[in-house]
Structure formats: structure tokens, C-alpha cells
Structure 1
Amino acid sequence: MNEGAAGPDRLQAWPPALDAVALGWQPVLGRFWRSGEGERLNAFLRERLAGGAVIYPPEPLKALRLTPPEQVRVLVLGQDPYHGPGQAHGLAFDVRPDCKPPPSLRNIFKELAREYGPAPTLRSGLLAGWARQGVLLLNACLTVEDGQAASHARRGWEHLTELILTELQARARPLCVLLWGAHAQARWDAVAAAVPAAGPRGVLRANHPSPLSALRPPVPFIGCGHFTQANAWLMAQGLAPVDWLAPSAP
């Protein structure tokens, strides 16, 4: 088993306790577990673990633990966790502090450096600092098997994502939504079309930070200016800006 300073790199047991997430998310999570999709997902994960599958990350619900719904002011939507050993730790786009940044995260750092200048904090694990400031780093699918991208897609996680987005859309608190890539844009747009926004929404769109799309039209990720634009929007709503370069606590 791979273990670094942050502990085991894979899922150890399932299901988690309800208090694995912040109190405000517990009703949403409870509804999900009681749904058919939630029951099927639970059975699937238990079966795969019992069969010896290596599943990442060790804490699939970490984003919901670090960022309570009442504190969410920025939403970043991803797809599924990184599928290599020692990478994913439960936050979209981020990797464990002891892991080399993958290409998409390196491009996020490039854009941050372009907007704010180089900083020593631009390293793996930085995004946990965002999560503690109210940036919800949510993947559509929260688990994956070793070396098999999207291996847990359409197993039920997407229904939980829909419930979470619906909960956010129904809250009056201003929310800035960063949509990187067609997958994230389509997922948010489907919920936004079905659920009227209860408060101000600032939606910023760009290509995915993957090297395959980060520099391509229609809206290249490199050069998108999303971090400064998000802060300008938040301040216009009377909210504090995000310190995108703040060092992350453990």
C-alpha cells in the first residue's frame, strides 16, 4: 500500500459515516444514500473493495467536509479523480502535497502565475487552501479505480453531484461558478435550467486546463483571467476575495 505523509492513498472501507461531511451537507447526503442511485453505488463500492480493487481517493467526500454549503462562494466543477497512485485526495484538480503536479494542475498554476506573478505556494496541495476559503472543488464522479479513468462513471455519483448543485442553486448566497471544459459547462447548465437561482450567480467559462485544450479556442484556459475576474465579482457582491495563493494548512 502506498502511504506518504498524508496517509493511505486509497479507499480503505465503505460506506463512510454521515459525519464525514460538514453538517450542512448531511441532509443532502442522507437523501442520496436513501435513493436508488445511492443504494446501488454503496453496493458497487463494497463489492469492488471486497474483490480487491484499488480505489482512489482515500476520502471521496473531502470537498464536502472542508467546504460547508453555507460557506460556498465559488464552485469549481471537475470530472473524476486522478487515477494514479498517491495522486487524488478528494478535491477536484488537486493532488496530495507529496505528489508531482499533473498537467492540468500545472496549467492552473501557470494561469495563477500569469494573473498574480510567480509564488512559492504554487505546488501540490495548494487547492486545499481554496476549499477552506469557501471554494467547493467538486468532481462529478468521486471515486476511480487504479489506472482506469472514468471507471466509476455512471455508477451513481452523478446523482449526488446533481443534488449538490441543486442545493447550491437554491441558496440565496452569491455564487461564482468556474466552468472549465464542456463537461462541467453541460452539467451546470442542466441544473441551472431546471432550478431557478435564488441569488446572484457569476458564471465564467473557459476550456479545460488539460494540455489538449488549455491553449485552444474558443476560450483558452491560459489567459482566461478567471481568478481575478472571480474576485472582482465576489467583491461586487460584498464578499471577500479568495486568496488564491494562500499556503494550505495540512
Structure 2
Amino acid sequence: MNKSQKLTKLIFLAMMVAIGVVISPILRVEGMCPMAHFINVTCAVMLGPWYAFICALAIGIIRMAFMGIPPLALTGAIFGAFFSGMLYRLSKGKLICAFLGEVIGTGIIGAIVSYPVMTLFWGKTGLTWFFYVPSFIAGTLIGGSIAFIFLKQLQKAKLLSKFQTALGSNVYEGSDVVTNDAIGIACLGFIGYLATVVIVNNFVANPTGFVSIIKYIVFAVFIIAAVVFWFVKKPKKESKESYV
């Protein structure tokens, strides 16, 4: 990595920290901050695990200092950022692995670590070891899916590798397959499920009949779409001709 790439990398890191601080309040409730996970996965792919960790750490500290956010700003970001970058690197550039690293790092590890942190340092009572797991996983699925789609479009436009080269990061060509896209479509089903739940709960007083099961229908549609996509797009094996 030359000096120009190092400077570009630091500038990009500063930009991602600034963007993360600004967009983090979007869709945020305590225990769920989807846009933070979008930043985590994007940084992990663009910059690598350690820079992603530093980005998440800086955003968390700024949010705690100036926005009054509890330590969840750190426990709900730094582990996912690092694991996202590590799994992306270990998988030789599979975007779905960056997404899964965020889910595992934040949705499971970060959520469990949040229990003692919030209990001992923030004085929260009535918590359990798995109290934050559902909301953390929901947040990672939403933000991670948005990042996956965003990065996938950059990849298809041949821009992702150009950005990584300019930043002096590892570049992986042709590592994603149709299966990864199908998994991404299936993950979008969970976002549709959550959105349907929110809409129904806010606009329908007593959901019954079709309205009560529409969330499952939305989720099933995405799963079916993912399966159909995989069967249609998967590479066809060339048939071998036998000679007698």
C-alpha cells in the first residue's frame, strides 16, 4: 500500500465515521440500530476487519459522548464489524459471508456481551444473557441486507474492485455465486416480514383472518423467489457425450 492509498483509506474511514454518526438514528430503538450494521458491513468489505473495527469504535464513542446513547453503541457494533471483515477475508471475498459475520458478531456475541455491560456499568435491571439477541439479530438482518444489496450492485457494476484497489484493500474477483444472491433475496424476506408486522400493528386494531397471516405470506414469497432465482440462474452443467 503506497502513501496515496493510505491517505485515501484514512479519508474514507473518516467519511464513514461521519456518515455512521449521522444516519445511525434512522430506524433506531434501544437494542436495534439497523443503519449501524449497514456501515459495519460496508466498511468491512471496503477497508477490512481492523479498519471496520476502528470505524465502529469511533462511531460508538461519538454517539455515547454527544447523543447520550448507552454502551450498546459499542457492544452492538464493534464485534460485528470485526467478524464481518474477517469472514469476508477468510471466504476470499464472498459478500454473504460479510453479512453473516455481522449477524454472528453483533446478533449473538455483541448481544450476549451487552448483558453484563448494561447491568454492571449502566445499572439496567431485569435483563438476561439473551435479552438483546432478538433485537440485535433483527437489526443486523435489516442493515446487513441493505449493505449486501448495495455492495452487490457495486460489484455488478465493476465498481467494488475499483474502490478496493483505490483504498489499497484486498480485491477478490468472481468469488460470489448465484447461491449468495439467492440467500440475499431470502434475507430480504425477513425485512418484509418486520415491515409488515409494524404496518399491521400500527394501522389495524385487531388483526384477524388474512391480515393476521399476511406477514408470513410476505416472508414465504421472498423464500419462494429465492428458490426460483437459484434454479433459474444456477450454472447448467454441460452434458458429457459418451462415445461407444
- Specify the TM-score bucket, using the shorter chain as the normaliser: 0.3 to 0.5
Q: Which has the higher contact order (CA 8 A, sep 6+)?
A: 1
Give TM-score scaled by structure 2 length.
0.33
Q: Which has the higher strand share?
A: 1
Q: Which has the higher helix share?
A: 2
Give TM-score scaled by structure 1 length.
0.32
